[in-house]
Amino acid sequence: MNIRKIKILSTGKYLPKKQVTAKELEFSLGLDPGWIEKKSGVLVRHFVEDETASVMGAYAAKNALEAAGLSFKDIDCLICTSGIPEQAIPCTAALIQEQLGALDSGIPAFDINSTCLSFIVGLDTISYLIQAGRYQRVLIIATEVATGLNWEDKESCTLFGDGAAAAIIAKSDEQEDCKILSARIETYSRGAHFTECKGGGNKHHPKDYAGNLDYFLFKMDGKAVYRLASEITPDFVQRLLQDAGLKMADIKMVIPHQASLMAIRLMRKQLDIPEEKVMVIAHNHGNTIAASVPMALHESIVQGKIQRGDRIMLLGTSAGFSIGGIILEY
């Protein structure tokens, strides 16, 4: 067991002002009434209008700072853990720092990206730096605008929503029970091309895809992702629990990536988890990519579903194909 005495001081969240119902989306896409609820279960999601990813991230950060009774000057590192950057350069974390008005703060700001797993990977990674004393209080932000959706691919485009969430992480006091008990990240690159967006990197020069939007559109082989996740998840979770010396019955709440309601139902069935022990927000948030786990964590806290000392599991999958999880005592 690789225990790290880490505490989540507070969380925050921001949703764009524009709310879009399944009924409205069905009308705009020419779908039959009830199609989205049947296929994805996402009844409500939010889309940006004048907000950007960095603006949303700053709002979520301010929410978390206020909840902790802190100012940005009390933070010594800002990490953006988003799957979709606001722009290629600079990193989104620098743009969030700008939005927070901390232009000359000198506080380090950088991104950690593992697509939908970015928050889990960021929390796992930064916990070692906090444990080692490199940083004292770290602001982790996941902010997502689901750009590049292919509106012709009805099953994928109707899943997503925009939004941001933040968490402030610090070293816990000796007398506190708060700690990370185990964490694992595994990648199975036979699924590397099941989910991808080819444009924007250095494999293809912009001149090669001028006028060809296909390079920028999100593509997902949902059935292939579903099969691979079904194959890998049960044994992965067992290894994660073994690392912590626990059984699933010891976990108060599982907080999964909100990929889809179907994916969450499959996970719950495979792992034999009671419905009340899985935090679900996909129905009124959609799949908010890397922001979905910290959003669900935030809702678990504000709704009183988890209390200090409870053992919780953060769990998700991402493009790559990667799977990751953290068990911690909140």
More confident site: 58 or 150: 58
Alpha-carbon torsion, ordered 243, 244, 248, 254, to 10 deg: -100
Length of the chain: 330
What's phi and psi for 6, nearest 5 deg? Answer: -120, 140
Lowest average pLDDT, out of 117-131, 260-274, 303-317, goes to: 260-274
Angle subtended by helix axes 53-68 and 92-99, to nearest 10: 60
Catalytic residue among 77, 91, 116, 197: 116
* Residues 70-119: tens digit of each pLDDT: 999 999 999 999 999 999 899 999 999 999 999 999 999 999 999 999 99
DSSP letter (8 states) at residue 172: P
DSSP bridge pairs for 80: 111, 141
Tell me which residue of 316, 64, 323 sits closest to 78, measured CA to CA.
64
Lowest average pLDDT, out of 22-31, 213-222, 236-245, goes to: 213-222
Whether residue 257 lies in the annotated active site: yes
Distance CA 288, CA 260 (A): 10
CATH of domain 179-329: 3.40.47.10
Whether residue 287 lies in the annotated active site: yes
* Average predicted confidence (pLDDT) for the chain: 92
User: What Å distances lie between residue 92 and 69, 75, 88, 112, 273, CA to CA?
Assistant: 25, 17, 9, 10, 36
CATH of 4-171, one of 3.40.50.150, 3.40.50.2300, 3.30.497.10, 3.40.47.10: 3.40.47.10
What's phi and psi for 132, nearest 5 deg? Answer: -80, -5
* Residues 135-192: tens digit of each pLDDT: 999 999 999 999 878 888 888 888 999 999 999 999 998 888 899 999 999 999 988 8
% of the chain beyond a pLDDT of 70: 97
Whether residue 116 lies in the annotated active site: yes
What is the structure's pLDDT at 175?
85
Distance CA 251, CA 161 (A): 28
Catalytic residue among 46, 77, 178, 257: 257
Catalytic residue among 63, 178, 287, 298: 287
Distance CA 96, CA 75 (A): 14
Distance of CA 108 to the CA centre of its chain: 21
pTM beyond 0.85: the answer is yes
Range(s) for CATH 3.40.47.10 in the chain? 4-171, 179-329
CB 104 within 8 A of CB 72: no
State which amino acid sits at residue 171: K
Other C-beta atoms lying within 10 Å of the C-beta of residue 159: 27
Structure tokens at 76: 């010594």
What is the structure's pLDDT at 318?
92
Return left, alpha or beta for 55; rule: phi > 0 is left, psi -120 to 50 is alpha, else beta: alpha
